[in-house]
Amino acid sequence: MLTLFFAPGSSSMAPHIALHELGAPFESRPLSFAKQDHRAPEYLALNPEGKVPTLLIDGRPLTEVVAILFYLASSFPDARLSGGDVEAEAHVLSWMSFVASTLHSAWIARRTSIDVTRAAFGVANDRLGPREWALGGRYSIADIHLFRLYWRFRNWANPGGNEFPCLSRHYDRMMTRRAVQRTLEIEAAIGYELPA
Ligand SMILES: N[C@@H](CCC(=O)N[C@@H](CS)C(=O)NCC(=O)O)C(=O)O
């Protein structure tokens, strides 16, 4: 049994999308940042950092977006979301490392320097280039991870259409996917409580 602890609009959106993409049965545990659910002792016992997401696998907690995406894609290999061959999988890891470290850090840096944030998304835009998906022709968990952070940045910074054209086209492609639409509907219905 899989159980996802998530907060609408936050990093946990990525595994939430992946669960819908895979059609995996799971239980939802939405947390409220406003009510400090993520600081409750019961949650800290699962995730001592007090962050989302956490995935329970038969009651055992797994934390960190990259690890959860890797676990889900590997557990449902028929969906081929982890890349395919070893080289493609390495490229998925390369993308997800970039998103989790460079891009996420630059997103947090918006509080002191929006220029740092924009520069990092510029690198992501150039790295993606004209490809349909992060790997080229094949959709993978790297696309889900990249999309979630750009979704957050885009809704916050409202960049012009020409500022990040490759990320913008990728965003549009992602928004046509049923799993993405479904996740956004569910999370919006619960309500976003995201920091500025
Ligand atoms: N390295 C973690 C980062 C997760 C993270 O930053 N989660 C944020 C939401 S986007 C959070 O839970 N923040 C709550 C807090 O810090 O109080 C991962 O990739 O899972």
Q: Which atom of ligand 1 is nearest to the CA of 10?
A: 10
Residue 11 Cα to ligand 1 midpoint, Å, equals 6
Polymer length in residues for the chain = 196
Q: What is the pLDDT of residues 96-153, one digit of tens each?
A: 999 999 999 999 999 999 999 999 999 999 999 999 999 999 999 999 999 999 999 9
Residues in contact with ligand 1 (CB, 6 Å cut-off): 10-11, 38, 50-53, 64-65, 100
Instruction: Quickly state the pLDDT bin for 161 (edges 50, 70, 90).
Output: confident
Amino acid, single-letter form, for residue 85: D
Instruction: Quickly state the pLDDT bin for 61 (edges 50, 70, 90).
Output: very high
Predicted model pTM: 0.98
Q: Which atom of ligand 1 is nearest to the CA of 64?
A: 20
First to last CA, the chain: 34
Residue 142 Cα to ligand 1 midpoint, Å, equals 18
Task: List the alpha helices (DSSP H) in 77-140.
Answer: 86-98, 104-108, 114-128
Average pLDDT, integer, range 54-75: 98
Alpha carbon 195 to its chain's center: 17
Give the mutation target among 51, 69, 96, 104 for probing the ligand 1 site: most ligand atoms within 8 A of CB: 51
pLDDT at 13 over 90: yes
